[in-house]
């Protein structure tokens, strides 16, 4: 409540009624009203100081303008006018002390008020450093699998040793597909860490991670001691896909996806001049690499010769404009697969090597549907693999 003396009330009424035209008097009364907001009756008008003779208490009280008052004599109002005109409306609200403020001015704001102000501005307080969860750099060799399907299948198949699952924090983490990955990780005792998109981009090296990354042990090519063909449960003719020198991980991933979808029994690959089974391959295969086993061979020629002695046929592939050779070239749509078959695919640039071509009984090609311009006479190796595999496996079903 504002407490004003009789004299001050009288002057205020004169100001409001327009009878007083002295600007200094108006400013003086206005300053008293403003300074009376947080003070008691000890800060009454100086003319009425006799009402409260305790002058010491008035000297110790701080008004909202930051000016310390003293008992004023007959000339007190004139001295106060100069102070009020400069500071009355400038410093109505106390502010935090600037770093370069003089130490003597610190007494204008009480310690309790400074404490409350600091609590309202957390930037003034010391903040603890945020601890970010990052992949382990120690221990066994690990790599980052990225993408929803690769991470989910890597967890469910159990071929990798999973260590940490990183999930992008935010609304994307509530998608059903992401929650499924998190539930699978929790079921298998894998730590789940929610990180920012920036951290997840850094973990995945800027690749398309779809909001999840998994730190796990790497996958390699499989090997076997006995090179015997497993028998199919349905009694149909088996088909193996043999790859030589596929260097693009995107192509390898797309080939694995088509081979798994169409029903290839095994994928074999040369270990030389071939890209490894990396997380990029897994993402390009939509996680198929985590399911299908890819067997690696140091010498494909020895494996092919052994399969020929077991009654398998070796079928190579060439482009539509392949040079004439002693090996017959057949359109893939005209070929009938009647016995266990090894379908050979060469690398993106040179195709099959001469050593593997010499072991082929026949060569397949995908015929073009129009006259082709020079330089674009062939298909991408992953696209050609899908067409050839579909053609062969369809012929196998038709002869069942």
For a pLDDT cut of 90, what percent of the chain falls above it? 48
Per-residue pLDDT at 397 = 64
Residue 143 has pLDDT above 70, yes or no: yes
- Asked whether the beta carbons of 277 and 219 are under 8 A apart, the reply is yes
Q: Give the mean pLDDT of 208-215.
A: 94
Is 147 found in the same domain as 113? no
**Is the same domain home to 374 and 284?**
yes
Give the per-residue pLDDT at 33: 43
What pLDDT was estimated at residue 11? 56
Residue 300's CB is within 10 A of a number of other CB atoms, namely 25
No. of H helices and E strands in the chain? Answer: 13, 11
36 and 149 share a domain?
no
User: Average pLDDT over the chain, rounded to whole?
Assistant: 75
225 lies in a domain? no
| Each residue's pLDDT tens digit, 153-164 | 999 999 999 999
Find the CATH number of the domain harbouring 189. 3.30.1330.30
Same domain for 204 and 318, yes or no, is no
Does one domain contain both 211 and 257? no
CB 42, CB 52: distance < 8 Å: yes
In a domain, 223, yes or no: no
Task: Give the CB-side neighbour count of residue 225, counting CA atoms within 13 A.
Answer: 0
- Residues 154 and 290 sit within 8 Å (Cβ to Cβ): yes
Which range of 172-186, 286-300, 328-342 scores highest in mean pLDDT? It is 286-300
pLDDT of residue 134: 67
Q: Is residue 73 included in any domain, yes or no?
A: yes
Per-residue pLDDT tens over the stretch 35-53: 444 444 443 444 444 444 4
Residues 195 and 295 reside in one and the same domain: no
**Whole-angstrom distance, CA of residue 385 vs CA of residue 366:** 10
**Cα–Cα distance for residue pair 117/92, rounded to 1 Å:** 15
Q: Please report the pLDDT score of residue 26 as a whole number.
A: 44
Look at residue 248 and tell me if it is in a domain. yes
Report the distance separating Cα 229 and Cα 10, nearest Å: 113
Q: Which two tokens stand for residue 157?
A: 């198949």
The region of weakest confidence among 61-65, 343-347, 383-387 is: 61-65
104-142 pLDDT, tens digit per residue, is: 444 455 554 444 444 444 443 333 334 455 666 554 689
Average pLDDT over residues 365-385: 86
E strand intervals along 178-275: 191-195, 212-216, 239-243, 266-270
Over 80: is that where the pLDDT of 32 sits? no
φ/ψ of 256, rounded to 5, equals -65, -40
3-state secondary structure of 332: helix
229, part of any domain: no
pLDDT at 14: 54
The Cα 97–Cα 202 span in angstroms is 41
pLDDT band, residue 196 (cuts 50/70/90): very high
What gap in Å lies between CA 308 and CA 364, rounded to an integer?
18
Q: Please determine, for residue 198, whether its predicted confidence score (pLDDT) is greater than 80.
A: yes
What is the C-alpha separation between 96 and 108, in angstroms, rounded?
11
Same domain for 25 and 116? yes
Compute the 3-state secondary structure of the chain and give helix, strand, coil in percent, each to the nearest 5: 40, 15, 45
Rounded-to-integer distance, Cα 49 and Cα 47, Å: 6
Query: Are residues 262 and 304 located together in one domain of the fold?
Result: yes
pLDDT at 313: 95
Structure tokens at 400: 């069942």
Select from 117, 122, 66 the least CA-distant residue to 96: 117
Report pLDDT for 369. 85
Does residue 135 form part of some domain?
Answer: no
CA-based end-to-end distance of the chain: 101
DSSP string, 98-113: PTT--GGGGGGS-HHH
Token duo for residue 297: 């061979």
Per-residue model confidence (pLDDT) at position 119? 41
The answer, yes or no, to whether residue 306 has pLDDT greater than 50, is: yes
CA–CA distance, 182 with 373 (Å, rounded to integer): 50
**pLDDT at residue 59 is higher than 90:** no
315 plus 372 within the same structural domain: yes
The answer to the question of residue 304 being in a domain is yes
Identify the CATH number of the domain in which residue 319 sits. 3.40.1280.10
Q: What is the mean pLDDT of residues 354-359?
A: 94
Residue 377 is predicted with a pLDDT of 74
Residue closest to 313 by CA, chosen among 355, 345, 361: 361
Q: Give residue 182's domain range.
A: 143-216
Q: How far is CA 46 from the centre of its chain?
A: 68
Bridge partners, residue 270, by sequence: 297
Statement to judge: residues 281 and 381 lie in one domain:
yes
pLDDT at 97: 45
**Percent of the chain scored above 70 by pLDDT?**
60
For residue 1, is it within any domain?
Answer: no
For residues 236 and 282, which has the higher predicted lDDT (pLDDT)? 282
One domain for residues 208 and 284? no
Do 253 and 394 fall into the same domain? yes
With b meaning 16 or more CB within 10 Å and e meaning fewer, what string describes 135-144? eeeeeeebbb
How confident is the model over 13-32, as a mean pLDDT? 49
What confidence score (pLDDT) does residue 170 get? 84
The residue that leads in pLDDT, 388 or 82, is 388
Total domains present in the chain: 3
């Amino acid at each position: 409540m504002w407490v004003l003396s009789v004299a001050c009330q009288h002057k205020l009424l004169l100001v409001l009624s327009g009878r007083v035209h002295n600007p200094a008097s108006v400013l003086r009364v206005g300053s008293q009203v403003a300074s009376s907001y947080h003070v008691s009756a000890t800060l009454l008008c100086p003319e009425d100081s006799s009402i409260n003779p305790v002058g010491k208490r008035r000297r110790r009280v701080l008004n909202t303008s930051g000016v310390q008052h003293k008992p004023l004599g007959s000339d007190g109002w004139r001295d106060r006018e100069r102070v009020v005109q400069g500071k009355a409306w400038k410093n109505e609200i106390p502010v935090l002390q600037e770093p370069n403020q003089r130490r003597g001015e610190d007494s204008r704001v009480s310690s309790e008020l400074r404490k409350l102000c600091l609590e309202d501005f957390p930037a003034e307080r010391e903040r603890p450093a945020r601890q970010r969860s990052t992949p382990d750099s120690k221990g066994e060799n690990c790599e980052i699998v990225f993408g929803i399907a690769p991470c989910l299948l890597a967890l469910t198949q159990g071929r990798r040793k999973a260590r940490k699952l990183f999930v992008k924090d935010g609304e994307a983490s509530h998608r059903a597909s992401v929650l499924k990955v998190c539930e699978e990780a929790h079921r298998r005792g894998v730590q789940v860490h929610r990180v920012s998109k920036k951290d997840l981009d850094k973990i995945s090296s800027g690749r398309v991670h779809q909001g999840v990354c998994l730190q796990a042990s790497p996958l390699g090519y499989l090997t076997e001691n006995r090179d015997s063909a497993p028998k199919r449960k349905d009694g149909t003719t088996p088909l193996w896909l043999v790859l030589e020198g596929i260097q693009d991980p995107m192509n390898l991933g797309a080939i694995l996806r088509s081979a798994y979808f169409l029903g290839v029994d095994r994928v074999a690959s040369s270990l030389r001049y071939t890209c490894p089974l990396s997380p990029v391959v897994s993402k390009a295969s939509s996680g198929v690499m985590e399911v299908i086993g890819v067997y690696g061979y140091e010498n494909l020629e020895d494996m092919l010769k052994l399969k020929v002695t077991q009654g398998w046929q070796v079928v190579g592939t060439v482009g539509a404009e392949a040079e004439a050779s002693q090996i017959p070239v057949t359109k893939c749509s005209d070929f009938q697969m009647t016995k266990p078959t090894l379908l050979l695919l060469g690398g993106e640039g040179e195709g099959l090597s001469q050593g593997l071509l010499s072991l082929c009984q026949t060569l397949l090609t995908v015929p073009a549907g129009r006259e082709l311009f020079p330089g674009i006479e062939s298909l991408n190796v992953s696209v050609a693999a899908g067409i050839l595999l579909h053609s062969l496996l369809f012929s196998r079903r038709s002869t069942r």
